[in-house]
Amino acid sequence: MKFKHLYKSTLAACLLALSFPSFSQNSFKPQKDVLATIKKNFADADVQYKYMAKQFGPEQFPKTYHPTTDKFETSNSSWWCSGFYSGTLLQIYQQTKDAALLTEANNNLKGLEKEQYNKGTHDLGFMMYCSFGTAKHLEPKPEYKEILINSAKSLSTRFNPTVGCIRSWNSKANDFLVIIDNMMNLELLFYATKATGDSSFYKIAVTHANTTMKNHFRPDFSSYHVINYDEQTGAVKEKKTAQGFANESAWARGQSWGLYGYTVMYRETKDKKYLEEAKNIAHFILTNPNLPADKIPYWDYNAPNIPNALRDASAASVMASALLELCRYVDKKDGQEYFNTAQTIIKNLSAPAYKADLNTNGGFILKHSVGHFPAGTEVDVPLTYADYYFVEAMQRYKAFAK
């Protein structure tokens, strides 16, 4: 089938809903006690994020908090996590209708706008779709649409047709580095095609996903973190890690990125190969002997000091959110397993071991995430994206009660 025919047949089926599509193959019954916990979590998150807003000034973006030194860390707008704060504020606002959160989110968005022209990063999906995409979902302002389209145009400049991928990290000549995280930025491109009718964004997303599916995954459907391609030929030069334990290990958040990314790919294209990929990734995660009973992964599934290795709440949050979408696309048996796993994650992240007390933790909702263990940065601390995907997962869970 020629691409233009594939595009026309699938575009009609693409949904504009930000959290997840409204259609469902299966229905799952959320537990009343979990719904009550989520209600309290959102009320507490409201308090936490208003507390967080007091920790930094204008043109700053929250990054993490270091509990051992009681230091709050921020970034500028070009940091890859800059969009999560406003996105989380807006998702909490959706639930609590606290106008103070909306005001804070809108003020923060103003400092992020200029990143729509940033061609030096592959993370514009994280930065702009998680922020302005969430804002547009709540209030479809024309300026939000324009910002998102410009962001997609900037992201598209990093695509290399010879390699068949969007460049992730800038590197030395003839190296072309692509990380599994980049699957999370493709949703922005799908939006741009729906908003403009220009199929080039769609085609880049599909090509990137296909190349990643071919080269990033091992036979057991665990994922490498980094693939280094030859920029001139597209040949694979190296398969390695940056943030994981070892080149052949399964870095936990990377597995969750892949699960989420291919679930989105199926939503946006209805191509069954992406559904099978997502199911296979889910199978690797859920049957992994090193996945703890509480479903909060160790920072790497092959970390050398399991069961004493650090857990990663961010990997769990992303996994839960992905599973609560994927469960809608599969048969009853698999769907129930995915739903139950996400439910377990939400329960355990809501417990004192992971959920911070009010007016502590720098205002972050969750504790105990791992950013870059090998580099010794953001280790066993709260992280903005852990909160973002936890809030998203709770919203998705609540939607099953409607």
Distances (CA, A) of 131 to 33, 88, 262, 301: 30, 8, 21, 30
Flag whether pLDDT at 115 surpasses 80: yes
Range of the domain at 173: 3-399
Q: Which of 379, 271, 263, 373 is nearest to 328 (CA)?
A: 263
Of the residues 181, 300, 312, 380, only one is catalytic, namely 181
* Domains identified in the chain, total number: 1
Least confident range of 17-21, 126-130, 152-156, 189-193: 17-21
pTM for this one?
0.94
Residue 144 identity = Y
Element (H, E) at 372: strand 369-372
Identify the H or E element spanning 85: helix 84-96
Separation between Cα atoms, residue 202 and residue 182, nearest integer Å: 15
In the annotation, is 181 catalytic? yes
Instruction: Report which DSSP code applies to 82.
Output: T
- Of all residues in the chain, the percent with pLDDT exceeding 70 is 94
| Active-site entry in 123, 300, 380, 387 | 123
Does the bond joining 374 to the residue before it have cis omega, within 30 degrees of 0?
A: no
* CATH number, position 285: 1.50.10.10
387 in catalytic set: no
The answer on whether 181 is annotated among ligand-binding residues is yes
For the stretch 325-382, pLDDT in tens is: 999 999 999 999 999 999 999 999 999 999 999 999 999 999 999 999 999 999 999 9
pLDDT at 367: 98
Q: How far is residue 152's CA from residue 157's CA, in Å, rounded to a whole number?
A: 9
Point out which residues pair with 383 in neighbouring strands.
Answer: 64
Give the confidence band of 323 by pLDDT, cuts at 50, 70, 90: very high
Q: Give the torsion sign (CA, 265, 268, 269, 271).
A: positive
- pLDDT digits 0-9 by tens, 12-56: 334 334 444 444 445 899 999 999 999 999 999 999 999 999 999
- Per DSSP, the three-state class of 75 is strand
